[in-house]
Structure formats: C-alpha cells, structure tokens
Chain A
Amino acid sequence: MANRTGALEQPAAARARAASLWGDAWRRLIRNRLAVVGGVIVVFLFFLLFFGPLVAPYPYQEQHLVELVENGNRPIGPFQGQFLFGTDDLGRDVLSRLLDGAQISMTVALVVQAVVLLIGLPIGAAAAWYGGRVDSFLMRFTDVMYAFPDLLFIILLSVTFRDTPIGGALDGVLMVFIAIGIVSWVGMARLVRGQLLSLKETEFVEAARAIGVSDFRIITRHLLPNALGPMIVAVTLGIPGAILAEATLAYLGIGAQPPRASWGKMVADGQQYLRGDPHLVIFPAIIIALALLSFTFLGDGLRDALDPKLKGKQ
C-alpha cells in the first residue's frame, strides 16, 4: 500500500515542479525591466489590432478637405486643433492612419508566425523523428531557401500573385504576409529539428516508445512541450523581422494598397514633406521603432527567462 501511494505521489510532485518551472521563468521575466516595458507595449499594440478602429478619432481614409484648404492646402501640423498628430497632404488624420497601420503590422506579426509554425513545425518534427531521407531532403531544401535573397524573394512572390484572388485579399496585404512566412519558416524547421533530435534520445521518450505510444502522440505530448521554450523565443524574435519586412515592402509600394495606411507607406508618402512637415515621417518612424524594440526586448527577456543557461546569448 505504501508503495502505491509513493507511485501516485510522484506524478503530482512532477506536476508541481513543472508548474514552478514556468513560474520561475515568469518571475525572471518580470524582474527584467526592458522585457516588461516591451511586453506592455506589445500588449498595447495587440489591443490596437482589435480595438484600433474603435479608438481612432476618424476613419483612416477620411479626407478633411475643409480644414486642409483653411491651412493653405498644406498638411496640418501636430498638437494643434482637432488633429492630435496633424494630417497628411490629403487631409487625413495621421493618428487614425497610424492606428490602421498598427492593425496591418500586428496582423503581420500573427499571420507570419502562424505560417512559420504551420509549415516549420511539422516539417522540422518529421525531419527529426524520421531522419534519413526526410531529414536530408529538409536540410537540402533549407540550403536552397537560405540561398534566396529574402526580401527579393518576397517581392517576387507578392508581385507574382498580385492579381490572383489571394493577392487581392485584405487590400493586398495577405499575400505579403504569406510571402514573408514562406521565407521565414526554414529557421523554425531547423530549430524544431535540432531541439527534437536531442530530446529524442532522452529516457522518457525511450520509455514512451517502449510502452507503445504512437509516434504522433510522442511528438505532440512529449517532444514538443519540452521544446516549447526555444520556440516561443524564436517566434517572438521573428516578429520584428516580419514587421520590418512588411514596412520595407510597403515603403517600396508593395503590399497594402491605398487608402490603407501601412507605416512603411506613410514614411514613403511623407518623405517629400520632411522639411516643412516632419511629423508625416517622424510619427510613423517612432511607432515602427516602438514595435521593433518592444518585440526585441520581450524576446530577449523571454530567452533569458526560459533558459537561464543561454542568458545574454543571441
């Protein structure tokens, strides 16, 4: 009887330790000031993704022509009158447009990482688990993907599919999201593969195999949860790259079509007014910087928190 109690207690103890593992990570994370600031801004940006249009003072595409003409047909400056961040050369409220841009950038963050996980995770897991041909095919394929100049390949993909239904979806942004995801999944596949390869040799996996647990269940229940930490970090740190890629493409005129207001497009449109009306470039530049930094800080913090061994490593 005593023996049975011991056997029953063990999983409970293991659960408690597992919980405190995440608890420890959480405590380490909130001790990291930069990560907390980054996390707060990230939460705020995601709030804007869902509620941006509700808090926006005006519709992003509305042209306030009367006010524009009263201002001598020049962009209205910030911090005066009814437009907090001023208007652009077409009389559109800059703040409202920034909020619309937040929606685009945050959707990039979500969609791209979803594509990365959807493609990278099963392929990486299959390569690690089955090895052999599957594995070498993946590694050869990643060689090819690495050889492509990323941004140029994204441009090529988005231009190719521009006139298809998928290219027109979401005002032309969806294709850009997918293209960025297609270029970025390779890193995730390699990461998952590396993690699973080392976990595969552990005793608890061997035990699971010995009692006849199915491959799928071992991968989803035993391997992936243990590889979750590095994956969370990779996803978080992949987001600024995706946001930057979208902004760069929008700056080049690829992706979100007018009147949608991608931050990169706002910089491109505003640059000719930079001397007289710097607010048209400065505000989008600041919010791009905020988005890039907050995800980077949060990602750095998560990495240090989830794996103290890796502290400080890139």
Chain B
Amino acid sequence: MLGYIVRRVLWIIPVLFVVSIITFSLMHAAPGGPWSREKQLPPATVEFLKARFGLDDPIHVQYLTWVGNLVVGDLGPSYRQGRDVNDIVADGIGTTVHLGVMAFLLSVVVGIPLGVIGALRHNRIPDYLATFISVIGIATPSFVAAILLLVFFSVTLRWFPTHGWEGWSNPSAMVLPTLALSLFPIAQISRFTRASMLEVTRKDYIRTAQSKGLRERTIVVIHMIRNALIPVVTILGPVLAFLITGSFIIETIFSVPGIGRYYVISIGQRDYGVIMAMTMLYATVIAVLNLVVDVLYAYIDPRIRYS
C-alpha cells in the first residue's frame, strides 16, 4: 500500500511536467502577447518590455527559466497586474478553496441524504421530490443559477449582498455563491447515491439481514448505507476538484476575490505567468484529489488491494 502511494505521488511529477509543456506551447502559440492591445504601444516600448522580462529569448530558454523559477517557488511577474504571481495566488487561493470546500460540504450534506431517501422511498413522493431537486441541478448551468439567485434573493428580496466575500466575518455574503456552485454537484451526488442504494437494496445480504429479523434501522444504516457509499466516494474527489477549479464563473458573477476569476482574464491578456501558475495549481489539485480518492477507496473497501 505504501509503495503504491509513493509510486502514485511520484507519478504526479511527470504528469504535471507534460501539462506544463502543453500549456506553455499553446499559450505562446496564441497570437499576440501581453502588450498587444487596442491602442498599440510604441514598438520600442514593447521591445524594451520583452527584453526586460526575457520574452525575446528562444521559447525553450523561456520554458527552462520558468521551470527553474518554479522549483525555487517563484512564479514570476504578472505582466498586466503590476505584481508578482505569487502575490496574486497568495491573495486569492484561500478564498477559492474556502468557497470550494463550503460548496463541497453543502453538496455532500444535501446530496447523500437526498439520494438515500430517494432510494428508500423508491417511486414514492419523497423519491419524486429528491429527483425533482436533482433534475433542477442538472438542468441549470451555474451561471443561470447564479443570475437567478442574485436577482431573486439579493436584488428583489435583499436578503443577501449582491457581491463580495469577507469570509466568516460576513457569512451572508457566502450563501449565494455557495448555493449556486453546489447546485450541480448536489444533483450529481444524489443521483449517484440513489443508484448505488437501489443496487445494494437488491443484494442477497440485505435479504439475509431482513430474514434474520434485524431492525429496519440497523439494516439501513449498517448494511445498506455503508455499502452504498463506497462507490459514492469515488466521485467525491472529482467533485471537490471541480468545485475548486471550476468556480471561476461564480467568482466572476459574485465578485468573489478568489483566483479563479483571473484565469479567463489572464488567457485573454496573454498574462503568461498567471496562466501557467493557475494551470499548474489546478492540475495539482486534480491529480492529488484523484490520488486521495483511490487511497481512500482501498481504505474503506477492504476488498480492494493495490500492489
């Protein structure tokens, strides 16, 4: 098991390496540069800026410089925001992770019970209600959900602020972004849980448990839910990764000062340092969370053995 974990952790490094090469090449292949804009800068200025930041070096030299700096923890300058990428990341990463984790917890706390109830009351009113909620989650893109929540709860009812994020010092500002972000994962988790529960319900060991006269409660909690949740764990990693790396639309709509909203802007602006930093950060989050899930899976399901 330990050997397996070590190998998986080491495997992340070449994966990230390839990700960085692909991103770096694509980004530099894109026409224009950080200083091309509507009103053109004097060519001499652009030349000076390029020389100043080493952008006139051959591409592989630029890449190696970037890798070298990355190894010592320097993500380089942002060409458009007048500060270091390290600062940008340090300022926003906490908020992005906070938002992602809140949405994750909400999705789990709502999604799993919805799925369980739906399966236990299969084809009855609670099941239809739970299905209805997950249908809404599937049918509503997060940007639509965000806009509708914003207009209804902030503009019309004035219950929550329309924008901003101050962490726990102003919890009401967290409600709408968290809700908008978790709508889809709630649907995903509850659908998955329901399907898994329905499958477990038909298992022989459930009939055995029922026929030996165990209490319904014991059967449901000990025998059904525990077994049904094993496959659910496998999607929780991708869900959390999606919530942390996919929050940029919600961050933009609600002006949440995370890092996600810089990503799209930085691609448009050819802000190379920011693009690379975000991609690597997100890729690391995804790779690590996938690893955690695989390990966790083996831990909760003794039948799975990695070698």
Contacts and interface: CB of A to CB of B under 8 A. Distances in A.
Contact of B283 (A149, A162, A313): A149
Given A143-B15, A247-B141, A292-B141, 13 more contacts: A147-B283, A147-B286, A147-B287, A149-B286, A151-B246, A162-B30, A248-B141, A248-B142, A248-B143, A251-B143, A264-B141, A271-B147, A275-B156
Interface string A88-107: 00000000000000000000
A188 interface: no
A268 B290 CA distance: 33
A143 B22 CA distance: 14
Interface stretch (B60-68, B203-211, B263-271): B263-271
A163 interface: yes
Nearest to B201: A312
Contacts of A313: 195-196, 199
Interface stretch (A109-117, A152-160, A191-199): A152-160
Interface of A is mostly: helix
B147 A267 contact: yes
Contacts of A218: none
Contacts of A170: none
A296 B30 contact: no
Contact of B18 (A144, A149, A296): A144
A156 B267 contact: yes
A121 interface: no
Interface of B: 11, 15-16, 18-19, 22-23, 26-27, 29-31, 135, 138-144, 147-148, 151, 155-156, 191-192, 194-196, 198-199, 245-246, 248-249, 263-264, 267-268, 275, 278-279, 282-283, 286-287, 290
Across the A-B interface, the 6 shortest Cβ-Cβ residue pairs: A289-B139, A160-B30, A149-B282, A149-B245, A147-B283, A312-B195
A271 B249 CA distance: 14
Interface residues of A, number: 39
A314 B31 contact: no
24 contacts: A144-B15, A144-B18, A144-B19, A146-B290, A147-B16, A148-B283, A149-B279, A149-B282, A152-B267, A156-B267, A162-B30, A244-B141, A247-B141, A248-B141, A248-B142, A251-B141, A251-B249, A264-B141, A264-B143, A278-B151, A281-B147, A285-B144, A292-B141, A293-B135
A275 B157 CA distance: 12
A244 B30 CA distance: 25
Nearest to B122: A312
Contacts, number: 109
Contacts of B15: 143-144, 147
A285 B140 contact: yes
Nearest to A163: B31
B139 A292 contact: yes
A312 B286 CA distance: 28
A206 to B, nearest CB: 29
Nearest to A155: B267
B192 A314 contact: yes
Q: Which of A159, A247, A292, A293 has the most CB of B within 10 A?
A: A159
A165 to B, nearest CB: 13
A275 B155 CA distance: 9
A160 B138 contact: no
A120 interface: no
